[in-house]
Structure formats: structure tokens, C-alpha cells
Chain A
Amino acid sequence: GAVVSQHPSWVICKSGTSVKIECRSLDFQATTMFWYRQFPKQSLMLMATSNEGSKATYEQGVEKDKFLINHASLTLSTLTVTSAHPEDSSFYICSARDHVGRQGAGNTIYFGEGSWLTVV
């Protein structure tokens, strides 16, 4: 299946600093990528939808100035958590939409491995 790579897998940062998480589609072009946050034993919470070359669309309640999303190419989207605080500690996951389809999957999304962020 399609591969989406997310980096770093885990990161620890000091309160007040910024951290960047990368999401790459390795074998397909993704015009649309999604960013999620997941708390322990809870479902995925969509944060924003990122379209290549345009501004991201944020879900209600998600601070766009805090969670900066850049989708500068068809294979790369980045999430930057600015001025991170301990309450931002979470599991962040990206996914990429595959329009072309592999094995008949014409419109589906593939997830990255996730990034654990701990703010101390």
C-alpha cells in the first residue's frame, strides 16, 4: 500500500519553544493532507485539512496561529506547534489522500506512523 512517513516519531521540547513535524507521501502525490490529534484511548480528532499551495482549513476550536500548517509540495506537509505548552503534549498523526488509487482504492487516505510530542 501507499506509504506516508511522519517525522519525528517522538519529540520532547521545552515549554515556550516551537516544534515541527513533517509528513511525507513517499510513493504518491497528495494534494490533500490531514492533521489529527489523538488523546489516549480516544478517537482521532481532525485538526486541519491541508491543500497543496493554499492555506489550511482548520476545524472549529483549533488555533491556527498555534498550529501552523504548510503544504508547500505535493509530497510534504508540515505542522509546527508554536510556543508549545504541556497541554499540547499529545499524539499527532497526519494522513494523505490518494486520489489515483492502489489496489482499487480510488479515494482513500493513508496515515503516517504518528508523532508523540511531550512538552516539559
Chain B
Amino acid sequence: QKEVEQDPGPLSVPEGAIVSLNCTYSNSAFQYFMWYRQYSRKGPELLMYTYSSGNKEDGRFTAQVDKSSKYISLFIRDSQPSDSATYLCAMSAGTGNQFYFGTGTSLTVIP
């Protein structure tokens, strides 16, 4: 079983839709959770960072962590064509520990 599972998509939505991206994981020691956005031919960009459980909101983006279910989500409200990218989840148990990545979900927002 992989440490982190992420549906690769592709996911295609109309502009203005709410997008839900998800990852599941198996290691209960993970405490640090990140979402990255990667545009084609570019390095990943950190979007959201969450420590332990709970929600975090930043503009149109909301990250949720449910440690009891080992499930994290990224919601994008009022999606825009500029949100079209691959979204990677990542997690770590802490300092000195490795980071584990999902395979990425490809998102296309259609104008």
C-alpha cells in the first residue's frame, strides 16, 4: 500500500465551480500536510499548509485535515481558468522525516 493515495484525474470543471481534491494516507504519524500547485513545465508552488487536524482558509482555497479518517482535502471556490494545473498533496511526520507525495490530480477549469 502506498503511503499517500491521490486520484490522478483528470478533473474538468466549468469556471465558477467548486472543486474538491482529496488524498488519503496510511501513516498515522503524519502531522504536517501540504498542498502544492504545479503548472506545466514548472516547479510545484506551495499553496496551503496545515499542521495536525482542522481547517485552514486562504482566499478561495480551503484545506481540511481529518486525521481520524486519514483524509485531507483541498477545496477551490469560484474556480478560475488560471487554476488549471496539477495539484499535489504532501505530508510528513515532522522534522527529520521524509515527505510523501501524492501522484497529483490534473485539473482543468473550462472558461
A111 touches B104 (CB 8 A): no
Tell me how far the C-beta of B28 lies from the nearest C-beta in chain A, rounded to whole angstroms. Answer: 17
Q: Across the interface, which residues of A come within 8 angstroms of B41, CB to CB?
A: 91, 114, 116
The answer to whether A107 has its CB under 8 Å from any CB of chain B is yes
Partner of B46, one of A34, A49, A108: A108
Tell me how far the C-beta of A5 lies from the nearest C-beta in chain B, rounded to whole angstroms. Answer: 10
Tell me how far the C-beta of A116 lies from the nearest C-beta in chain B, rounded to whole angstroms. Answer: 7
Minimum CB distance partner of A10 in chain B: B41
Minimum CB distance partner of B33 in chain A: A108
The answer to whether B92 has its CB under 8 Å from any CB of chain A is yes
Query: Which of B41, B42, B46 is the most central at the interface, judged by chain A CB atoms within 10 Å of its CB?
Result: B46
Tell me how far the C-beta of B15 lies from the nearest C-beta in chain A, rounded to whole angstroms. Answer: 24
Within 8 A of B (CB), among A56-110: 91, 93, 95, 99, 103-110
A43 touches B101 (CB 8 A): yes
* Alpha-carbon distance A78/B103, docked complex (angstroms): 26
* Alpha-carbon distance A82/B40, docked complex (angstroms): 27
B101 touches A34 (CB 8 A): no
The answer to whether B71 has its CB under 8 Å from any CB of chain A is no
A1 touches B46 (CB 8 A): yes
Q: Determine chain B's interface SS by DSSP, over half rule.
A: strand
Given A107-B32, A111-B43, A114-B41, the answer on whether A34 and B99 have CB atoms closer than 8 Å is yes
Q: Across the interface, which residues of B come within 8 angstroms of A1, CB to CB?
A: 46
A93 touches B46 (CB 8 A): no
A112 touches B43 (CB 8 A): yes
**A residues in contact (CB < 8 Å) with B:** 1, 4, 6, 34, 41-44, 49, 91, 93, 95, 99, 103-114, 116
Q: List 25 A-B contacts (CB under 8 A).
A: A1-B46, A4-B43, A6-B43, A34-B99, A41-B106, A44-B44, A44-B101, A91-B41, A93-B43, A93-B44, A104-B51, A105-B34, A105-B49, A107-B92, A108-B34, A108-B46, A108-B92, A109-B34, A109-B90, A110-B46, A111-B43, A111-B45, A111-B46, A112-B43, A114-B41
